[in-house]
Amino acid sequence: MHKDMQVAKSSRRIRYLVWLAGIVSAGAAVLRWLAPETRSWLPPTLAAFAPSGPLSPARRLAGFGVELLPLAAAVYALAALHRICTAYAGGDLFGEQIGTHYRSFGIGLFLLGIGNGLYTAMMPTVLTFVPGSTRLAIPLGLSSADLYLLIVGGAVMLVGGVMGEAHRIHQDNSEIV
């Protein structure tokens, strides 16, 4: 099998996985805040902050709003990855837009790192805030996974810039020859 055909075939498969990941992520985000017992849908580190019993509608809405921060970044990154795979599936391995798509994917990963950090800091606040109470948790910090997303996102943005510049140089050279 020719390498271009292998890339196209793999890209088509990855596109399906991208759609599946997006649907599962969005579905889990919605179900988490609609479930009667939200605590069981939260990661264990956040479930410890959740009050026992059902959450008020206002707290559910605030939690869903915070949930949208990393979800929006993930969907943006998945959309960029989908565009990359669509171009590859069409045989466009080093086309004019590939560098732009990679930069978008890198930006999405970078934003996902920021969104996860904000989610981790804001969700305990949403879960512990009670007007008139002195009990409020505001944890600050980035996990190693968040830092890795920031680093990889920056590296992918750099690769996208290099690919865009390589395409421009190739175009300039093909006009000369």
Average pLDDT along the chain: 87
Structure tokens given for 161: 């810039």
Kindly tell me the burial class for residue 160, based on how many C-beta atoms sit within 10 Å of its own C-beta (0-12, 13-18, 19 or more).
buried
State the pLDDT confidence band at 157, using cuts at 50, 70 and 90: very high
Residue-wise pLDDT for 100-133, tens only, equals 999 999 999 999 999 999 998 888 888 887 776 7
Give the residue carrying structure tokens 């990359």. 84
What are the percentages of helix, strand and coil residues in the chain, rounded to 5? 75, 0, 25
Domain range holding 169? Answer: 3-176
Residues of the chain with pLDDT > 70: what percent?
94
The helix (H) or strand (E) run that includes residue 106 is helix 98-128
Q: Residue 173 has what pLDDT?
A: 83
Helical pair 144-176 and 98-128, crossing angle rounded to 10 deg: 160
Whether 63 contacts 49, CB under 8 Å:
no
Virtual CA dihedral for 149, 121, 72, 23, nearest 10 degrees?
90
Alpha-carbon distance 77 to 156, whole Å? 11
Q: pLDDT by residue (tens digit) across 60-104?
A: 999 999 999 999 999 999 999 999 988 888 887 777 889 999 999
Does residue 166 have a pLDDT over 60?
yes
Q: 56 in helix, strand or coil?
A: coil
Q: For 42-52, how does the pLDDT look when each residue is reduced to its tens digit (9 = 90+)?
A: 888 888 888 87
Structural domain count of the chain: 1
